């Protein structure tokens, strides 16, 4: 994801070329007492007009008696000419002007002299002959280049001076795209009968899920609010309220460690629908996603419409990931069918393979195209990656250009089997076959990680394509070894696939005494995730809206009725007053915007993001409260040493 890829040539700045249509559409209302037009507005048709422009000095070219100023605002750049013989007063001001000064210019729109037109500017046919120039505000020399969109700048500097970074073209582009994204989302929802409702951000803490951010209450000393991790319960309660179709662009908060795709506060498109099944929700979201993509990034092709729908089982088998990047192949291939099993005993000749198969595990492979002649160091690197994700090792077979198979394990397998394995994997001359032999879960996971890793390194994915896909039929629960209970894989309210309802039982017969052998472990959830280009965009489910199933599911998850009431009391009570069947989804707006602009992190599509350690370098937040704030809240700080004790 390089910076140029940030979608298309754009532009305000002359370096990059030309203006996008979106930036040159001018509502007539942008005129103010400070300007008659914006800096991206004037054209040959305006020649002769007396105008006034205001903006920042993008660049100054001083030729002595003649000074050129490139005047910039977010709409574009207009060249201003100050002639010392025509208007000495303005020339005097122009010679004092520096980069990023805010100035206001009055003058006449004139055609540029023949041969001096600038094709890279949308205003390049004209220039402004200055009659009056006023400095509205001076500016210190900026700490980095505002006028060069390609200049690399340390990200922490950009964050400290975010207002200057936002003045730069790439950030303007991304914030604009994000604005259009949200606008398109809102439009699609309103057109489909959704009601936009705001839910509170001071709510009740629940012990489930991620760590809550908490806010001490002054009126209720000793008690705290929590900031919502998502509006989950509230939106379900809205369904009980008969809202039918709800959506919200909702700010959410999770106090967990940060990543490139995770910030402590982030924005979700949150929606919920009543009287729906899985297909209703998926169909709507899919149509909406297509409309929105085409509205926001019409130049980017969708890989497949309708979006492919995979079951969790299939996607893990084929891609080793529940958020596969479908822009390239490199699918996982099962090698077991080639391995002979005389008397039912696997006999490849290579112990690692045979033991894995005999133990109920798998032998699977992916093909790294063109890496057949990779040096030992490269193989070692891949092996390290495989081990980091839990594999015991990584076997490989290299197909030379001549077609002969090389590799340390050929001597165990024999040439014939080695060749058949390569053929099964789909490898051609010059390719490298990477093989993992382990339990099913580890094998798929490790190969999936290698696939993602190699796909990125080898540049296999077309950066222009948008590859959406659905993944559904997730397992309802995952066995929690320490807790001795079934843990919801996604949302504790996810419904169960109707035909699996009977599986919600335990071997013991008592849902409050679960064991890893329970049929419940095989139950599949009415849960669906939407993935885009290898990122999880979001997920949702049809909820359990029947009281009996909810109690059963919670019992399997090890929650007593009392604990349930404590955590979800309001919602459970609401459910006793006639809850309609309902379900919904939440999509990460930050991730979506990052993907649509081909950025590697969501920080690039947020105006004021935080660092990995959760600080805001511009505001210098967080900061210690003052004594009075503590007193109001009845709080006292415990020194770090005592906390550890």
Partner RNA sequence: GGACCCGUGGUGUAGCGGCCCAACAUGCCAGCCUGUCACGCUGGAGAUCGCCGGUUCGAAUCCGGUCGGGUCCGCCA
Q: Contact residues for RNA (CB under 7 A)? A: 14-15, 59, 61-66, 68, 70, 79, 81, 83-86, 98-99, 112-113, 116-118, 120-121, 124, 127, 141, 143-145, 148, 151-157, 208-211, 229-230, 232, 254, 256-260, 262, 388, 487-492, 600-601, 603, 611-613, 615, 617
Cβ burial, residue 104 (10 Å; 0-12/13-18/19+): middle
By beta-carbon proximity to RNA, the closer residue of 357 and 571 is 571
| CA end-to-end distance (rounded Å), the chain | 46
By beta-carbon proximity to RNA, the closer residue of 15 and 411 is 15
In 3D space, the residue among 320, 357, 317 whose CA is nearest the CA of residue 338 turns out to be 357
By beta-carbon proximity to RNA, the closer residue of 358 and 570 is 570
Q: Rg of the chain over CA atoms, in angstroms?
A: 30
Output the smallest distance, CB 491 to RNA, in A. Answer: 4
Chain Cα centroid distance, residue 4: 18
Output the smallest distance, CB 486 to RNA, in A. Answer: 11
Output the smallest distance, CB 124 to RNA, in A. Answer: 7
| Residues 6 or more apart whose Cβ sits within 8 Å of residue 191 | none
- Contact between 307 and 326 under an 8 Å Cβ cutoff? The reply is no
Question: What DSSP state is assigned to residue 142?
Answer: P
The structure tokens listed for 593 are 């915007």
Output the smallest distance, CB 100 to RNA, in A. Answer: 9
Output the smallest distance, CB 256 to RNA, in A. Answer: 4
Instruction: Give SS3 for 214.
Output: strand
Output the smallest distance, CB 340 to RNA, in A. Answer: 36
By beta-carbon proximity to RNA, the closer residue of 364 and 610 is 610
Output the smallest distance, CB 109 to RNA, in A. Answer: 12
Output the smallest distance, CB 603 to RNA, in A. Answer: 7
By beta-carbon proximity to RNA, the closer residue of 198 and 355 is 198
Chain Cα centroid distance, residue 42: 37
By beta-carbon proximity to RNA, the closer residue of 98 and 190 is 98
Sign, Cα dihedral of 93, 96, 97, 102: negative
CA distance 320 to 186: 34
In 3D space, the residue among 81, 438, 464, 440 whose CA is nearest the CA of residue 302 turns out to be 464
By beta-carbon proximity to RNA, the closer residue of 155 and 286 is 155
Output the smallest distance, CB 135 to RNA, in A. Answer: 13
Sign, Cα dihedral of 233, 238, 244, 249: negative
In 3D space, the residue among 532, 539, 534, 528 whose CA is nearest the CA of residue 592 turns out to be 532
* Largest separation between any pair of C-alpha atoms in the chain: 102
By beta-carbon proximity to RNA, the closer residue of 221 and 484 is 484
CA distance 135 to 108: 19
| Residues 6 or more apart whose Cβ sits within 8 Å of residue 144 | 151, 153, 157, 158, 161, 164, 165
By beta-carbon proximity to RNA, the closer residue of 407 and 534 is 534
């Amino acid at each position: 994801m390089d910076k140029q890829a940030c979608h298309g040539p754009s532009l305000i700045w002359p370096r990059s070329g030309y203006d996008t249509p979106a930036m040159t559409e001018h509502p007539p209302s942008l005129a103010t007492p400070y300007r008659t037009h914006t800096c991206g507005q004037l054209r040959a048709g305006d020649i002769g007009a007396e105008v006034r422009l205001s903006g920042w000095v993008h660049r100054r070219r001083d030729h002595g008696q003649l000074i050129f100023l490139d005047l910039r605002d977010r709409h574009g750049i207009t060249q201003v000419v100050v002639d010392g013989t025509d208007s000495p007063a303005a020339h005097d001001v122009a010679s004092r002007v520096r980069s990023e000064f805010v100035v206001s210019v009055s003058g006449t729109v004139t055609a540029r002299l023949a041969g001096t037109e600038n094709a890279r500017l949308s205003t390049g046919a004209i220039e402004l002959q200055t009659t009056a120039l006023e400095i509205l505000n001076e500016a210190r020399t900026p700490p980095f280049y505002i006028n060069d969109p390609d200049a690399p700048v340390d990200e922490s500097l950009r964050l400290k001076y975010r207002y200057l970074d936002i003045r730069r073209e790439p950030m303007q582009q991304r914030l604009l795209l994000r604005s259009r994204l949200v606008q398109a989302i809102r439009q699609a929802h309103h057109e489909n009968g959704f009601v936009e409702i705001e839910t509170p951000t001071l709510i009740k803490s629940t012990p489930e899920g991620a760590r809550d951010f908490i806010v001490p209450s002054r009126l209720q000393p000793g008690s705290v609010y929590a900031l919502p991790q998502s509006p989950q319960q509230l939106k379900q309660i809205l369904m009980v309220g008969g809202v039918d179709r709800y959506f919200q662009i909702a700010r959410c908060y999770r106090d967990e460690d940060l990543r490139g795709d995770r910030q402590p506060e982030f924005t979700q498109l949150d929606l919920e629908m009543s009287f729906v099944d899985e297909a209703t929700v998926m169909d709507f979201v899919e149509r909406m996603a297509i409309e929105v993509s085409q509205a926001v990034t019409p130049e980017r092709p969708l890989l497949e419409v309708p979006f492919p729908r995979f079951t969790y089982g299939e996607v893990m088998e084929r891609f080793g990931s529940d958020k596969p990047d479908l822009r390239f192949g490199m699918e996982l291939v099962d090698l077991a069918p080639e391995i002979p099993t005389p008397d039912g005993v696997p006999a490849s000749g290579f112990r690692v393979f045979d033991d894995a198969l005999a133990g109920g595990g798998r032998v699977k492979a992916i093909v790294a195209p063109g890496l057949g002649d990779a040096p030992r160091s490269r193989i070692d690197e891949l092996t390290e990656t495989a081990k980091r994700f839990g594999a015991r090792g990584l076997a490989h077979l290299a197909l030379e250009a001549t077609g002969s198979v090389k590799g340390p394990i050929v001597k165990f397998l024999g040439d014939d089997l080695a060749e058949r394995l390569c053929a099964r994997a789909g490898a051609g001359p010059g390719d490298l076959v990477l093989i993992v032999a382990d339990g099913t879960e580890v094998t798929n996971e490790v190969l999936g990680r290698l696939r993602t890793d190699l796909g990125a390194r080898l540049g296999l994915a077309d950066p222009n394509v948008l590859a959406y896909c659905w993944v559904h039929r997730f397992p309802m629960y995952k066995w929690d070894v320490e807790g001795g209970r079934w843990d919801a894989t996604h949302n504790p309210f996810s419904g169960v696939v109707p035909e699996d309802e009977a599986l919600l039982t335990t071997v013991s017969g008592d849902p409050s005494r679960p064991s890893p052998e329970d049929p419940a472990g095989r139950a599949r959830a009415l849960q669906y995730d939407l993935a885009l280009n290898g990122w999880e965009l979001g997920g949702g489910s049809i909820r359990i809206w029947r009281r009996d199933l909810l109690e059963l599911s919670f019992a399997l998850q090890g929650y007593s009725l009392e604990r349930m009431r404590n955590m979800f009391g309001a919602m459970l009570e609401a459910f006793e007053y006639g809850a309609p069947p309902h379900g919904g989804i939440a999509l990460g707006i930050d991730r979506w915007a990052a993907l649509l602009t081909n950025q590697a992190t969501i920080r690039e599509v947020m105006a004021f993001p935080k660092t990995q350690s959760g600080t805001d370098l511009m505001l210098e937040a967080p900061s210690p409260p003052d004594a009075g704030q503590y007193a109001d809240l009845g709080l006292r700080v415990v020194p770090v040493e005592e906390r550890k004790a």
